[in-house]
Chains A and B, each alone.
Chain A
């Protein structure tokens, strides 16, 4: 069958999303702001694209309960601006938020930033969701309470699904108070030295919010602290003393912007690819040393890193990470590169396929995203 050029549908209400799913035959790719368009497997054999960027806006913000429900296409950056007026925030600082990433997209790609060390990723912040399935069913789970064990946590299933079960249309999130004061302490040095700092730091009572190492000459460890305006200086002093080695307070905004740029692979060679990896935290520094990385951001306390490597080395990265007991997924890559998006399949692959079959029996959604797994 010859395929016509894929159509793009831009629904602006949940009902329009449902209608679009029901009225459009064939396979659907799902997109929001497009900031993760090239992540994971490439959409393949798509008949139409469902663009959710028009499905945007806050549905209900309950400041007293610290919950908010939003349409899935809402850019997180815009949401944070609204929440800030109430002294609240969604405690998620993924690198691509500044580039307009949407709430639904951040859930679907299981993205997270440095503060995942304390607050977790989207999976830990999502307390409810509504999704449209291939047969037009709108499934809702969770709600506006942070503690909830009623029914299966379907929102978790959507986390990391890359749209493969259907488009999210509504997401309910738990919020946190915005910190009164935030600061950043940096210490320069290579990754193995940084790993030793992190070991001592995590054994200390200083409660860092984020701990990330950035590659460079010689590399730099960033530590974020949050707290009260009056109390933070004393903790900074304790942190600087603990790290020693020339540790000092730096301009946090600039430091974390540099981190975000490096995580996104900005400025990398045209033939470079970006791979996200995860492993046990103490395994990370030695693992990074074995990868042909040209740029790295490494959460030495979380075990999550983003590495820029030559695209041709991606299979080797998957293998090396898997051998260390870790997981890996391809993020950005050159348009021409034909490299595997995922490492070895997990032991739960048959189960994952069974879930896909039950929810999307004709495999209409996000074809290719989990290639070659399913």
Chain B
């Protein structure tokens, strides 16, 4: 159902004319997130300024059963913020205030449009920081981090976004405003906050987030180590963990990723090495020094060809700049690329990387690897040229890699989510009963199925159906299948 003038008038009455966008040129700005291959122009874009505005927008949507998609900076890579054609986008960038930094209780209260890096910037004067730090932290927002449970390189030691969010204020799909979680780690009743974290915007819209802040460690030691093979680097990771050391981060890059990152940032990576590890330890001086010596010894034992220790905070920042810019930098060595996101048990890293290489050669496409080695979270970058007609092959390879992770006992996603990109792969990881229960859970939050429809689960039960209100699947209409 197209949004007619009286409905638009309701949004205008709530937000004012300037914050309701229906100009086709401007709505087009919101047609995709970081998964740029999928585009849908929304009918309207709403730009609320307060939580009450958001609730008002959702109430109008609920009353008219209009599908809505909340969106922050649009850095998501799985199509989680892909609009619905006859629906609205609720842009949350104007809810961008740091409401409170409370050093004594080590927490901050934020609106969803605050960027990840702004949280740490606000906490830094108090000697505190926010541990989850996705590579896109300069631009990605905490609302999006909550939706995707996206945490970046420091999750291995410090846990994931879900471990750092004390509570979220959310607008449920019926327009009611509720708080999930509380001020302390103590929990009352089932952990609805934990269900909401990582739900990819399908259960409601975040309007306020209270996060835990950690004390900035006394010291941080960062090293960059080159290895003669990805397998040797992988073995180093296993040995570090086996020695009882939990690094703050362990990142690995292969030759292609290094070439791209070094070309873009000049971070000091070696261009002639098949694999490099970035290992960071943090903590008290005593513990860090002892463990750092052990890590260096393990690197040497596995044929490390060059070991560079960051001698200053500036050098450390340079090493990280290279790693964090790696995705974008791949644009320098390929006209197009797909960022995949899968997880495997850490012990299967070498095996899975070998299989990826093999699959790449079979498909005639290059795959660059840059990933969180400590927690087995891979980010294979499938390089291709759309102009050369390689798009479909690249998409197939990318999906096959994600499904390979499941075969290896892992997961379809570690931090980018399922979105629209991998919804059809969900049956590879979960049985029909599991998915049906997830669908029941979703319907408890959103009985009318208007909140970010078409994402995460094969919608509603079958791939190939259009997102939005329920419409009979063509096979249903033909009487060949029935809705359970």
Interface residues in chain A, defined as those with a beta carbon under 8 Å from any beta carbon in chain B: 62, 64-67, 87, 110, 112, 116, 120-121, 123-124, 133, 137-141, 143-154, 156-161, 164-165, 176-180, 199, 202-207, 227-228, 230-232, 234-235, 276-283, 302-304, 325-329, 342-343, 346-348, 350-352, 354-355, 357-359, 370, 373
Contacts and interface: CB of A to CB of B under 8 A. Distances in A.
A231 B286 contact: yes
B440 interface: yes
Contacts of B191: 110, 123, 156-157, 159-160
A358 B440 contact: yes
A27 B360 CA distance: 55
A139 B186 contact: no
A152 to B, nearest CB: 5
B190 interface: yes
Given A124-B163, A180-B244, A148 B444 contact: no
B180 interface: yes
B262 interface: no
A150 B188 contact: no
Contacts of B215: 202-205
B82 to A, nearest CB: 17
Contact of A348 (B104, B156, B192, B409): B192
B186 to A, nearest CB: 3
Interface centre among A164, A205, A348, A355 (most CB of B within 10 A): A348
B178 A347 contact: yes
Contact of B286 (A234, A326, A373): A234
Nearest to A234: B286
A151 B345 contact: no
Contacts of A232: 286
B258 to A, nearest CB: 23
Interface centre among B191, B412, B422, B431 (most CB of A within 10 A): B191
B155 A147 contact: yes
Interface stretch (B86-94, B318-326, B371-379, B464-472): B371-379
Given A150-B426, A205-B284, A351-B444, A145 B375 contact: yes
B347 A64 contact: yes
A326 B190 contact: no
A150 B413 contact: yes
B257 to A, nearest CB: 19
Given A177-B244, A278-B183, A351-B445, A62 B347 contact: yes
Interface of B: 102, 104-107, 127, 148-151, 155-156, 159-160, 162-163, 172, 176-180, 182-195, 197-200, 215, 217-218, 238, 241-242, 244-246, 283-284, 286-287, 289-291, 343-347, 372, 375-377, 409-418, 422, 426, 429-431, 433-438, 440-445, 447, 456-457
Given A64-B238, A124-B163, A231-B286, A160 B189 contact: yes
A-B interface, 6 closest residue pairs, ranked by CB to CB distance from nearest:
A278-B186, A156-B194, A205-B218, A278-B184, A303-B184, A177-B244
A92 B362 CA distance: 47
A248 B376 CA distance: 42
B442 A152 contact: yes
30 contacts: A87-B244, A110-B191, A121-B185, A124-B163, A137-B437, A145-B344, A145-B409, A146-B155, A147-B151, A147-B375, A147-B376, A151-B430, A153-B162, A156-B194, A157-B194, A160-B187, A160-B189, A176-B246, A177-B241, A204-B215, A205-B218, A227-B286, A280-B102, A281-B105, A302-B185, A303-B186, A342-B188, A347-B178, A354-B444, A370-B189
Nearest to B217: A205
A64 B348 CA distance: 10
Contacts of B107: 280
Given A137-B437, A145-B343, A147-B377, A159 B416 contact: no
Contacts of A157: 190-192, 194-195, 441
Contacts of A354: 444-445, 447
B345 A152 contact: no
Nearest to A121: B185
Contact of A137 (B150, B244, B436, B443): B436
